[in-house]
Structure 1
Protein backbone atom coordinates (compact mmCIF):
# COMPACT_ATOMS: atom_id res chain seq x y z
CA UNK A 1 0.00 0.00 0.00
CA UNK A 2 1.53 3.36 -1.09
CA UNK A 3 1.12 6.40 1.16
CA UNK A 4 1.50 10.09 0.17
CA UNK A 5 1.68 12.74 2.86
CA UNK A 6 0.86 16.36 2.02
CA UNK A 7 2.75 18.70 4.41
CA UNK A 8 0.72 21.82 3.58
CA UNK A 9 -2.69 20.21 3.82
CA UNK A 10 -1.71 17.85 6.58
CA UNK A 11 -3.56 15.02 4.81
CA UNK A 12 -2.62 11.49 3.80
CA UNK A 13 -3.67 10.09 0.46
CA UNK A 14 -2.95 7.10 -1.70
CA UNK A 15 -4.45 4.47 -3.88
CA UNK A 16 -4.39 1.97 -1.04
CA UNK A 17 -5.76 4.33 1.61
CA UNK A 18 -9.34 3.73 0.59
CA UNK A 19 -9.81 0.44 2.35
CA UNK A 20 -13.39 0.21 1.08
CA UNK A 21 -14.62 0.59 -2.45
CA UNK A 22 -16.92 3.39 -3.49
CA UNK A 23 -20.03 1.24 -3.62
CA UNK A 24 -19.48 -0.04 -0.05
CA UNK A 25 -18.69 3.45 1.30
CA UNK A 26 -21.89 4.78 -0.15
CA UNK A 27 -23.77 2.20 1.88
CA UNK A 28 -22.00 2.89 5.22
CA UNK A 29 -22.83 5.58 7.71
CA UNK A 30 -20.58 8.13 9.42
CA UNK A 31 -19.41 5.44 11.83
CA UNK A 32 -17.67 3.40 9.02
CA UNK A 33 -15.86 6.47 7.71
CA UNK A 34 -14.51 7.25 11.17
CA UNK A 35 -13.19 3.69 11.45
CA UNK A 36 -11.27 4.06 8.14
CA UNK A 37 -9.64 7.28 9.35
CA UNK A 38 -8.66 5.58 12.58
CA UNK A 39 -6.91 2.69 10.74
CA UNK A 40 -5.08 5.07 8.36
CA UNK A 41 -3.83 7.22 11.19
CA UNK A 42 -2.54 4.21 13.08
CA UNK A 43 -0.61 2.97 10.00
CA UNK A 44 0.96 6.41 9.47
CA UNK A 45 2.14 6.59 13.05
CA UNK A 46 3.70 3.14 12.78
CA UNK A 47 5.68 4.21 9.70
CA UNK A 48 6.87 7.36 11.47
CA UNK A 49 8.13 5.40 14.45
CA UNK A 50 9.90 2.94 12.11
CA UNK A 51 11.58 5.78 10.20
CA UNK A 52 12.73 7.42 13.44
CA UNK A 53 14.24 4.15 14.63
CA UNK A 54 16.20 3.78 11.38
CA UNK A 55 17.57 7.32 11.67
CA UNK A 56 18.71 6.77 15.26
CA UNK A 57 20.48 3.49 14.39
CA UNK A 58 22.26 5.12 11.46
CA UNK A 59 23.46 7.89 13.73
CA UNK A 60 24.89 5.48 16.28
CA UNK A 61 26.66 3.30 13.68
CA UNK A 62 28.24 6.17 11.82
CA UNK A 63 29.13 8.37 14.77
CA UNK A 64 32.80 7.62 14.50
CA UNK A 65 32.92 8.52 10.84
CA UNK A 66 31.71 12.06 11.35
CA UNK A 67 35.14 13.61 10.65
CA UNK A 68 35.53 11.99 7.22
CA UNK A 69 34.13 13.44 3.99
CA UNK A 70 31.65 10.63 3.96
CA UNK A 71 30.80 11.50 7.54
CA UNK A 72 29.98 15.02 6.40
CA UNK A 73 27.50 13.67 3.92
CA UNK A 74 26.06 11.43 6.55
CA UNK A 75 25.84 14.37 8.95
CA UNK A 76 23.92 16.32 6.37
CA UNK A 77 21.73 13.33 5.83
CA UNK A 78 21.25 13.04 9.55
CA UNK A 79 20.44 16.74 9.82
CA UNK A 80 17.98 16.39 7.00
CA UNK A 81 16.51 13.32 8.65
CA UNK A 82 16.26 15.13 11.96
CA UNK A 83 14.46 18.02 10.32
CA UNK A 84 12.21 15.60 8.55
CA UNK A 85 11.62 13.82 11.84
CA UNK A 86 10.69 17.08 13.53
CA UNK A 87 8.29 17.82 10.73
CA UNK A 88 6.92 14.33 11.01
CA UNK A 89 6.59 14.81 14.78
CA UNK A 90 4.65 18.03 14.27
CA UNK A 91 2.47 16.35 11.72
CA UNK A 92 2.03 13.44 14.09
CA UNK A 93 0.88 15.88 16.80
CA UNK A 94 -1.55 17.44 14.37
CA UNK A 95 -2.72 14.00 13.33
CA UNK A 96 -3.13 13.07 17.01
CA UNK A 97 -5.27 16.17 17.53
CA UNK A 98 -7.31 15.33 14.48
CA UNK A 99 -7.55 11.77 15.71
CA UNK A 100 -8.86 13.00 19.05
CA UNK A 101 -11.34 15.22 17.30
CA UNK A 102 -12.34 12.33 15.09
CA UNK A 103 -12.74 10.14 18.17
CA UNK A 104 -14.97 12.75 19.78
CA UNK A 105 -16.91 13.09 16.53
CA UNK A 106 -17.14 9.29 16.35
CA UNK A 107 -18.54 9.14 19.89
CA UNK A 108 -20.98 11.92 19.11
CA UNK A 109 -21.96 10.16 15.91
CA UNK A 110 -22.29 6.89 17.86
CA UNK A 111 -24.55 8.63 20.37
CA UNK A 112 -26.55 10.25 17.60
CA UNK A 113 -26.70 6.90 15.82
CA UNK A 114 -28.07 5.21 18.96
CA UNK A 115 -30.54 8.06 19.44
CA UNK A 116 -31.60 7.85 15.82
CA UNK A 117 -31.95 4.09 16.11
CA UNK A 118 -34.20 4.58 19.13
CA UNK A 119 -36.18 7.22 17.24
CA UNK A 120 -36.30 4.89 14.25
CA UNK A 121 -37.59 2.06 16.46
CA UNK A 122 -40.18 4.39 17.91
CA UNK A 123 -41.15 5.55 14.43
CA UNK A 124 -41.36 1.93 13.29
CA UNK A 125 -43.58 1.10 16.28
CA UNK A 126 -45.66 4.14 15.54
CA UNK A 127 -45.79 3.14 11.88
CA UNK A 128 -46.91 -0.39 12.82
CA UNK A 129 -49.52 1.08 15.16
CA UNK A 130 -50.66 3.44 12.41
CA UNK A 131 -50.88 0.50 10.03
CA UNK A 132 -52.97 -1.40 12.56
CA UNK A 133 -55.10 1.70 13.18
CA UNK A 134 -55.43 2.14 9.45
CA UNK A 135 -56.63 -1.44 9.05
CA UNK A 136 -59.06 -0.98 11.93
CA UNK A 137 -60.25 2.32 10.50
CA UNK A 138 -60.65 0.67 7.14
CA UNK A 139 -62.80 -2.04 8.69
CA UNK A 140 -64.78 0.57 10.64
CA UNK A 141 -65.17 2.59 7.45
CA UNK A 142 -66.47 -0.48 5.65
CA UNK A 143 -68.87 -1.17 8.51
CA UNK A 144 -69.94 2.48 8.52
CA UNK A 145 -70.40 2.31 4.78
CA UNK A 146 -72.68 -0.71 5.18
CA UNK A 147 -74.53 1.02 7.99
CA UNK A 148 -74.78 4.13 5.82
CA UNK A 149 -76.34 2.06 3.04
CA UNK A 150 -78.81 0.54 5.50
CA UNK A 151 -79.57 3.96 6.99
CA UNK A 152 -80.10 5.32 3.51
CA UNK A 153 -82.61 2.56 2.82
CA UNK A 154 -84.35 3.29 6.12
CA UNK A 155 -84.25 6.99 5.34
CA UNK A 156 -85.88 6.33 1.98
CA UNK A 157 -88.61 4.28 3.67
CA UNK A 158 -89.08 6.97 6.30
CA UNK A 159 -89.27 9.59 3.57
CA UNK A 160 -92.01 7.62 1.86
CA UNK A 161 -93.82 7.16 5.18
CA UNK A 162 -93.37 10.86 5.91
CA UNK A 163 -94.91 11.80 2.59
CA UNK A 164 -97.83 9.48 3.24
CA UNK A 165 -98.25 10.92 6.73
CA UNK A 166 -98.02 14.42 5.32
CA UNK A 167 -100.80 13.60 2.88
CA UNK A 168 -102.88 12.09 5.67
CA UNK A 169 -102.09 15.09 7.88
CA UNK A 170 -103.28 17.50 5.21
CA UNK A 171 -106.47 15.47 4.83
CA UNK A 172 -106.98 15.38 8.60
CA UNK A 173 -106.35 19.11 8.79
CA UNK A 174 -109.11 19.68 6.28
CA UNK A 175 -111.42 17.41 8.29
CA UNK A 176 -110.37 19.19 11.49
CA UNK A 177 -111.16 22.57 9.96
CA UNK A 178 -114.58 21.31 8.97
CA UNK A 179 -115.14 19.93 12.47
CA UNK A 180 -114.01 23.21 14.00
CA UNK A 181 -116.46 25.12 11.83
CA UNK A 182 -119.20 22.72 12.87
CA UNK A 183 -118.14 23.05 16.52
CA UNK A 184 -118.25 26.85 16.30
CA UNK A 185 -121.71 26.66 14.78
CA UNK A 186 -122.82 24.27 17.52
CA UNK A 187 -121.39 26.59 20.16
CA UNK A 188 -123.36 29.45 18.66
CA UNK A 189 -126.49 27.31 18.57
CA UNK A 190 -125.81 26.20 22.14
CA UNK A 191 -125.48 29.78 23.32
CA UNK A 192 -128.75 30.66 21.61
CA UNK A 193 -130.45 27.59 23.07
CA UNK A 194 -129.00 28.40 26.49
CA UNK A 195 -130.47 31.87 26.35
CA UNK A 196 -133.82 30.45 25.25
CA UNK A 197 -133.61 27.80 27.99
CA UNK A 198 -132.81 30.43 30.62
CA UNK A 199 -135.79 32.45 29.43
CA UNK A 200 -138.01 29.36 29.52
CA UNK A 201 -136.59 28.39 32.93
CA UNK A 202 -137.41 31.84 34.25
CA UNK A 203 -140.94 31.51 32.92
CA UNK A 204 -141.18 27.99 34.32
CA UNK A 205 -140.02 29.16 37.74
CA UNK A 206 -142.63 31.89 37.65
CA UNK A 207 -145.32 29.37 36.73
CA UNK A 208 -144.13 26.93 39.44
CA UNK A 209 -144.21 29.71 42.02
CA UNK A 210 -147.72 30.63 40.99
CA UNK A 211 -148.73 26.94 41.07
CA UNK A 212 -147.27 26.47 44.58
CA UNK A 213 -149.09 29.57 45.78
CA UNK A 214 -152.31 28.29 44.30
CA UNK A 215 -151.79 24.85 45.85
CA UNK A 216 -151.15 26.40 49.24
CA UNK A 217 -154.26 28.47 48.87
CA UNK A 218 -156.25 25.36 47.89
CA UNK A 219 -154.89 23.42 50.88
CA UNK A 220 -155.72 26.28 53.20
CA UNK A 221 -159.25 26.50 51.83
CA UNK A 222 -159.73 22.73 52.05
CA UNK A 223 -158.34 22.69 55.57
CA UNK A 224 -160.72 25.37 56.68
CA UNK A 225 -163.52 23.40 55.13
CA UNK A 226 -162.74 19.85 56.36
CA UNK A 227 -160.33 20.10 59.32
CA UNK A 228 -161.68 19.00 62.70
CA UNK A 229 -160.46 20.98 65.66
CA UNK A 230 -159.69 19.59 69.09
CA UNK A 231 -161.70 20.87 72.09
CA UNK A 232 -160.28 23.64 74.18
CA UNK A 233 -157.42 22.59 76.51
CA UNK A 234 -156.77 19.48 74.36
CA UNK A 235 -153.57 18.84 72.39
CA UNK A 236 -153.51 17.63 68.78
CA UNK A 237 -150.95 15.00 67.69
CA UNK A 238 -151.09 12.64 64.66
CA UNK A 239 -154.77 13.19 63.96
CA UNK A 240 -155.67 12.60 67.59
CA UNK A 241 -156.69 14.90 70.38
CA UNK A 242 -155.12 14.37 73.79
CA UNK A 243 -156.31 15.56 77.18
CA UNK A 244 -153.66 15.74 79.90
CA UNK A 245 -154.82 15.81 83.51
CA UNK A 246 -154.09 18.93 85.50
CA UNK A 247 -150.97 19.16 87.61
CA UNK A 248 -151.12 17.86 91.19
CA UNK A 249 -154.33 16.02 90.29
CA UNK A 250 -154.19 12.23 90.51
CA UNK A 251 -156.76 9.43 90.46
CA UNK A 252 -156.96 5.65 90.43
CA UNK A 253 -156.99 3.81 87.16
CA UNK A 254 -160.79 3.26 87.20
CA UNK A 255 -161.56 6.91 88.03
CA UNK A 256 -159.14 8.09 85.34
CA UNK A 257 -160.90 5.80 82.86
CA UNK A 258 -164.32 7.22 83.87
CA UNK A 259 -163.04 10.83 83.56
CA UNK A 260 -161.94 10.13 79.97
CA UNK A 261 -165.30 8.51 79.16
CA UNK A 262 -167.12 11.51 80.59
CA UNK A 263 -165.16 13.66 78.15
CA UNK A 264 -166.25 11.50 75.23
CA UNK A 265 -162.79 9.82 74.99
CA UNK A 266 -160.89 6.97 76.63
CA UNK A 267 -157.64 6.41 78.45
CA UNK A 268 -154.70 6.73 76.01
CA UNK A 269 -154.26 3.85 73.56
CA UNK A 270 -150.68 3.70 72.29
CA UNK A 271 -149.94 2.12 68.89
CA UNK A 272 -146.48 3.53 68.07
CA UNK A 273 -143.23 4.65 69.63
CA UNK A 274 -144.07 8.24 68.67
CA UNK A 275 -147.27 8.11 70.70
CA UNK A 276 -145.35 6.46 73.56
CA UNK A 277 -142.83 9.35 73.59
CA UNK A 278 -145.61 11.98 73.26
CA UNK A 279 -147.67 10.62 76.21
CA UNK A 280 -144.63 10.12 78.52
CA UNK A 281 -143.33 13.67 78.13
CA UNK A 282 -145.98 15.30 80.36
CA UNK A 283 -145.50 13.47 83.68
CA UNK A 284 -143.05 11.01 85.10
CA UNK A 285 -145.83 8.43 85.73
CA UNK A 286 -149.10 8.37 83.75
CA UNK A 287 -152.05 5.94 83.48
CA UNK A 288 -152.80 4.48 80.02
CA UNK A 289 -155.83 2.47 78.92
CA UNK A 290 -154.23 -1.03 79.21
CA UNK A 291 -155.10 -3.73 81.84
CA UNK A 292 -155.46 -7.50 82.45
CA UNK A 293 -158.22 -7.18 85.05
CA UNK A 294 -160.49 -9.65 83.22
CA UNK A 295 -157.83 -12.37 82.76
CA UNK A 296 -154.37 -12.42 84.30
CA UNK A 297 -151.66 -12.03 81.65
CA UNK A 298 -154.18 -11.16 78.90
CA UNK A 299 -153.69 -7.45 78.38
CA UNK A 300 -156.44 -5.50 76.61
CA UNK A 301 -157.06 -1.87 75.72
CA UNK A 302 -160.07 0.03 77.06
CA UNK A 303 -161.71 -0.13 73.61
CA UNK A 304 -161.76 -3.95 73.92
CA UNK A 305 -158.88 -4.68 71.49
CA UNK A 306 -156.02 -6.95 72.54
CA UNK A 307 -152.42 -5.78 72.90
CA UNK A 308 -150.63 -6.67 69.65
CA UNK A 309 -146.98 -7.63 69.95
CA UNK A 310 -144.76 -7.15 72.95
CA UNK A 311 -145.63 -3.52 73.51
CA UNK A 312 -143.17 -1.13 75.20
CA UNK A 313 -142.73 -2.76 78.63
CA UNK A 314 -139.78 -1.98 80.82
CA UNK A 315 -137.25 -4.77 81.32
CA UNK A 316 -138.69 -7.43 83.69
CA UNK A 317 -142.26 -6.09 83.33
CA UNK A 318 -145.08 -6.93 83.69
CA UNK A 319 -144.33 -8.97 86.84
CA UNK A 320 -147.70 -8.77 88.75
CA UNK A 321 -145.92 -8.11 92.02
CA UNK A 322 -147.92 -9.64 94.96
CA UNK A 323 -150.61 -10.60 92.40
CA UNK A 324 -152.23 -7.14 92.65
CA UNK A 325 -150.70 -5.33 89.63
CA UNK A 326 -153.27 -5.36 86.82
CA UNK A 327 -153.17 -1.84 85.33
CA UNK A 328 -150.47 -0.27 83.09
CA UNK A 329 -148.71 3.03 83.53
CA UNK A 330 -146.12 4.88 81.39
CA UNK A 331 -142.93 5.67 83.32
CA UNK A 332 -140.78 8.39 81.81
CA UNK A 333 -137.88 7.55 84.09
CA UNK A 334 -138.16 3.82 83.35
CA UNK A 335 -138.54 4.46 79.62
CA UNK A 336 -141.53 2.10 79.14
CA UNK A 337 -144.66 0.47 80.59
CA UNK A 338 -145.02 -0.96 84.08
CA UNK A 339 -147.89 -2.90 85.74
CA UNK A 340 -149.21 -1.29 88.94
CA UNK A 341 -152.09 -1.81 91.40
CA UNK A 342 -155.15 -0.19 89.84
CA UNK A 343 -155.83 1.67 93.08
CA UNK A 344 -152.61 3.67 92.79
CA UNK A 345 -153.25 7.40 92.30
CA UNK A 346 -151.48 8.81 89.20
CA UNK A 347 -151.88 11.42 86.47
CA UNK A 348 -153.66 10.29 83.33
CA UNK A 349 -153.97 11.09 79.58
CA UNK A 350 -157.06 10.70 77.42
CA UNK A 351 -157.07 10.54 73.62
CA UNK A 352 -159.78 11.00 71.02
CA UNK A 353 -159.47 10.13 67.33
CA UNK A 354 -160.50 12.86 64.90
Structure 2
Protein backbone atom coordinates (compact mmCIF):
# COMPACT_ATOMS: atom_id res chain seq x y z
CA UNK A 1 0.00 0.00 0.00
CA UNK A 2 1.33 3.42 -0.89
CA UNK A 3 0.80 6.63 1.02
CA UNK A 4 1.40 10.31 0.33
CA UNK A 5 4.84 11.63 1.15
CA UNK A 6 5.13 14.81 3.22
CA UNK A 7 8.04 17.01 2.17
CA UNK A 8 8.87 18.44 5.58
CA UNK A 9 9.90 16.77 8.81
CA UNK A 10 6.77 17.28 10.87
CA UNK A 11 4.58 15.56 13.40
CA UNK A 12 1.08 14.93 12.12
CA UNK A 13 -1.54 14.29 14.81
CA UNK A 14 -4.50 12.20 13.74
CA UNK A 15 -7.39 12.01 16.19
CA UNK A 16 -10.49 9.89 15.62
CA UNK A 17 -13.49 9.59 17.90
CA UNK A 18 -15.59 6.47 17.54
CA UNK A 19 -18.61 5.36 19.54
CA UNK A 20 -19.84 1.79 19.17
CA UNK A 21 -23.02 0.48 20.78
CA UNK A 22 -23.45 -3.29 21.03
CA UNK A 23 -26.59 -4.80 22.56
CA UNK A 24 -26.87 -8.48 23.42
CA UNK A 25 -30.50 -9.37 22.74
CA UNK A 26 -32.50 -11.53 25.11
CA UNK A 27 -35.94 -11.48 26.65
CA UNK A 28 -36.53 -8.66 29.08
CA UNK A 29 -37.32 -5.02 29.34
CA UNK A 30 -36.48 -2.42 26.71
CA UNK A 31 -35.98 0.34 29.27
CA UNK A 32 -32.67 2.21 29.17
CA UNK A 33 -30.29 1.11 31.90
CA UNK A 34 -27.62 3.52 33.09
CA UNK A 35 -24.03 2.33 33.03
CA UNK A 36 -22.87 0.94 36.35
CA UNK A 37 -19.13 0.91 35.85
CA UNK A 38 -16.96 -0.90 33.36
CA UNK A 39 -13.46 -1.70 32.27
CA UNK A 40 -10.79 0.29 30.51
CA UNK A 41 -8.59 -0.98 27.70
CA UNK A 42 -5.76 0.64 25.78
CA UNK A 43 -4.52 -0.23 22.34
CA UNK A 44 -0.98 0.99 21.74
CA UNK A 45 -0.38 1.71 18.09
CA UNK A 46 3.25 2.11 17.02
CA UNK A 47 3.56 3.77 13.66
CA UNK A 48 6.80 4.13 11.72
CA UNK A 49 7.39 5.46 8.24
CA UNK A 50 10.31 3.92 6.42
CA UNK A 51 12.56 5.61 3.90
CA UNK A 52 10.33 4.83 0.95
CA UNK A 53 7.29 6.45 2.57
CA UNK A 54 5.53 3.25 3.65
CA UNK A 55 3.81 3.08 7.04
CA UNK A 56 4.51 0.14 9.35
CA UNK A 57 2.00 -0.31 12.17
CA UNK A 58 2.08 -2.61 15.20
CA UNK A 59 -0.78 -2.84 17.73
CA UNK A 60 -0.81 -4.02 21.35
CA UNK A 61 -3.82 -4.23 23.73
CA UNK A 62 -3.67 -3.97 27.52
CA UNK A 63 -6.51 -4.24 30.04
CA UNK A 64 -7.25 -1.57 32.66
CA UNK A 65 -4.22 0.58 31.83
CA UNK A 66 -4.69 4.32 32.37
CA UNK A 67 -4.35 6.20 29.12
CA UNK A 68 -1.64 8.78 28.92
CA UNK A 69 0.68 10.30 26.36
CA UNK A 70 4.00 10.66 28.11
CA UNK A 71 5.88 12.02 25.13
CA UNK A 72 5.54 12.63 21.43
CA UNK A 73 6.46 9.01 20.67
CA UNK A 74 3.40 7.51 22.34
CA UNK A 75 0.36 6.67 20.32
CA UNK A 76 -2.82 5.09 21.58
CA UNK A 77 -6.36 3.95 20.99
CA UNK A 78 -8.33 4.59 24.20
CA UNK A 79 -11.41 2.44 24.78
CA UNK A 80 -13.82 2.79 27.70
CA UNK A 81 -16.18 -0.09 28.22
CA UNK A 82 -19.32 -0.12 30.31
CA UNK A 83 -22.03 -2.73 30.66
CA UNK A 84 -25.35 -3.01 32.46
CA UNK A 85 -28.00 -5.67 32.80
CA UNK A 86 -31.70 -4.86 32.81
CA UNK A 87 -33.67 -7.96 33.38
CA UNK A 88 -32.17 -10.45 30.96
CA UNK A 89 -30.80 -7.94 28.47
CA UNK A 90 -27.17 -6.88 28.62
CA UNK A 91 -26.16 -3.52 27.25
CA UNK A 92 -22.49 -3.01 26.30
CA UNK A 93 -21.19 0.36 25.24
CA UNK A 94 -17.73 1.10 23.88
CA UNK A 95 -16.47 4.66 23.50
CA UNK A 96 -13.22 4.96 21.56
CA UNK A 97 -10.72 7.74 21.00
CA UNK A 98 -7.72 7.19 18.73
CA UNK A 99 -4.69 9.44 18.97
CA UNK A 100 -1.92 8.84 16.46
CA UNK A 101 1.26 10.83 16.05
CA UNK A 102 3.16 10.29 12.86
CA UNK A 103 6.88 10.97 12.83
CA UNK A 104 7.91 11.43 9.24
CA UNK A 105 11.32 10.49 7.97
CA UNK A 106 13.63 13.45 7.43
CA UNK A 107 14.64 13.67 3.81
CA UNK A 108 18.26 14.15 2.84
CA UNK A 109 18.33 17.45 0.94
CA UNK A 110 20.74 16.03 -1.65
CA UNK A 111 18.56 13.01 -2.45
CA UNK A 112 15.42 13.20 -4.58
CA UNK A 113 12.27 11.41 -3.51
CA UNK A 114 10.22 9.54 -6.11
CA UNK A 115 6.80 8.67 -4.61
CA UNK A 116 6.22 4.97 -4.16
CA UNK A 117 9.81 4.16 -5.15
CA UNK A 118 12.39 5.78 -2.88
CA UNK A 119 15.22 8.29 -2.51
CA UNK A 120 17.94 8.57 -5.16
CA UNK A 121 20.99 10.61 -6.06
CA UNK A 122 23.11 10.74 -9.20
CA UNK A 123 26.74 11.56 -8.45
CA UNK A 124 28.30 13.24 -11.46
CA UNK A 125 31.89 13.33 -10.16
CA UNK A 126 33.54 10.16 -11.38
CA UNK A 127 34.84 7.50 -9.01
CA UNK A 128 35.90 3.88 -9.31
CA UNK A 129 33.22 1.35 -8.49
CA UNK A 130 34.66 0.60 -5.04
CA UNK A 131 34.96 4.29 -4.20
CA UNK A 132 31.42 4.87 -5.44
CA UNK A 133 30.16 2.05 -3.23
CA UNK A 134 31.93 3.53 -0.20
CA UNK A 135 30.44 6.98 -0.92
CA UNK A 136 26.89 5.62 -0.99
CA UNK A 137 27.45 3.79 2.29
CA UNK A 138 28.77 6.97 3.90
CA UNK A 139 25.54 8.70 2.88
CA UNK A 140 23.41 6.04 4.54
CA UNK A 141 22.47 4.17 1.37
CA UNK A 142 24.03 1.89 -1.22
CA UNK A 143 24.75 1.79 -4.92
CA UNK A 144 21.50 1.56 -6.84
CA UNK A 145 19.99 -1.86 -7.39
CA UNK A 146 17.23 -1.67 -10.01
CA UNK A 147 14.34 -3.89 -8.99
CA UNK A 148 11.59 -2.72 -11.32
CA UNK A 149 10.65 -0.63 -14.34
CA UNK A 150 9.68 2.12 -11.88
CA UNK A 151 13.28 2.30 -10.68
CA UNK A 152 14.52 2.12 -14.26
CA UNK A 153 12.34 5.17 -14.95
CA UNK A 154 14.15 6.98 -12.13
CA UNK A 155 17.42 6.40 -14.02
CA UNK A 156 15.89 7.66 -17.27
CA UNK A 157 14.56 10.79 -15.58
CA UNK A 158 17.97 11.67 -14.18
CA UNK A 159 19.59 11.24 -17.58
CA UNK A 160 16.84 13.21 -19.32
CA UNK A 161 18.10 16.27 -17.44
CA UNK A 162 21.40 16.03 -19.36
CA UNK A 163 23.70 15.85 -16.34
CA UNK A 164 27.28 17.01 -16.81
CA UNK A 165 29.82 14.38 -15.71
CA UNK A 166 33.30 15.29 -14.51
CA UNK A 167 36.43 13.25 -13.76
CA UNK A 168 35.05 10.28 -15.77
CA UNK A 169 36.74 8.00 -18.29
CA UNK A 170 33.77 7.37 -20.55
CA UNK A 171 30.48 9.27 -20.01
CA UNK A 172 28.77 7.37 -22.83
CA UNK A 173 28.37 4.34 -20.59
CA UNK A 174 26.45 6.29 -17.99
CA UNK A 175 26.82 5.65 -14.28
CA UNK A 176 27.67 2.75 -11.99
CA UNK A 177 25.01 0.73 -10.20
CA UNK A 178 25.42 -1.87 -7.46
CA UNK A 179 26.07 -4.98 -9.55
CA UNK A 180 29.34 -6.89 -10.05
CA UNK A 181 30.68 -10.29 -11.16
CA UNK A 182 34.17 -9.87 -9.75
CA UNK A 183 33.91 -12.93 -7.48
CA UNK A 184 32.85 -15.29 -10.25
CA UNK A 185 32.89 -14.40 -13.94
CA UNK A 186 29.37 -14.25 -15.36
CA UNK A 187 27.69 -14.52 -11.95
CA UNK A 188 26.34 -11.03 -11.35
CA UNK A 189 25.51 -10.19 -7.74
CA UNK A 190 24.14 -6.97 -6.23
CA UNK A 191 25.60 -5.02 -3.31
CA UNK A 192 22.59 -6.24 -1.29
CA UNK A 193 23.52 -9.88 -1.88
CA UNK A 194 20.95 -10.78 -4.55
CA UNK A 195 21.65 -12.60 -7.74
CA UNK A 196 20.94 -10.22 -10.61
CA UNK A 197 18.31 -12.55 -12.06
CA UNK A 198 16.38 -12.31 -8.77
CA UNK A 199 16.17 -8.50 -8.75
CA UNK A 200 13.35 -8.27 -11.29
CA UNK A 201 15.43 -6.22 -13.75
CA UNK A 202 17.95 -7.64 -16.23
CA UNK A 203 17.81 -5.20 -19.13
CA UNK A 204 21.24 -5.55 -20.77
CA UNK A 205 22.37 -3.60 -23.80
CA UNK A 206 22.68 -5.74 -26.96
CA UNK A 207 25.92 -7.73 -26.82
CA UNK A 208 26.24 -7.34 -23.05
CA UNK A 209 27.49 -8.66 -20.75
CA UNK A 210 30.83 -9.66 -22.19
CA UNK A 211 32.73 -12.70 -20.98
CA UNK A 212 35.75 -10.66 -19.99
CA UNK A 213 37.53 -10.94 -16.65
CA UNK A 214 38.67 -7.38 -17.08
CA UNK A 215 35.07 -6.09 -16.95
CA UNK A 216 33.65 -6.77 -13.51
CA UNK A 217 31.37 -3.81 -12.79
CA UNK A 218 28.01 -2.73 -14.16
CA UNK A 219 26.81 0.70 -15.26
CA UNK A 220 23.58 1.94 -16.81
CA UNK A 221 23.22 4.41 -19.67
CA UNK A 222 20.44 6.86 -20.43
CA UNK A 223 17.88 4.21 -21.44
CA UNK A 224 18.59 2.23 -18.25
CA UNK A 225 20.28 -0.58 -20.18
CA UNK A 226 23.21 -2.25 -18.47
CA UNK A 227 26.86 -2.62 -19.52
CA UNK A 228 29.76 -4.33 -17.81
CA UNK A 229 32.64 -1.87 -17.50
CA UNK A 230 36.41 -2.20 -17.56
CA UNK A 231 37.92 -2.41 -14.10
CA UNK A 232 39.32 0.77 -12.65
CA UNK A 233 37.29 3.19 -14.75
CA UNK A 234 35.96 6.32 -13.09
CA UNK A 235 32.25 6.78 -13.70
CA UNK A 236 29.32 8.68 -12.30
CA UNK A 237 27.14 6.56 -10.04
CA UNK A 238 23.66 6.21 -8.56
CA UNK A 239 22.98 5.86 -4.84
CA UNK A 240 19.67 4.93 -3.23
CA UNK A 241 18.34 5.07 0.32
CA UNK A 242 15.68 2.49 1.12
The two structures have a TM-score, normalised by structure 1, of 0.34
Higher relative contact order (CA 8 A, sep 6+): 2
The two structures have a TM-score, normalised by structure 2, of 0.49
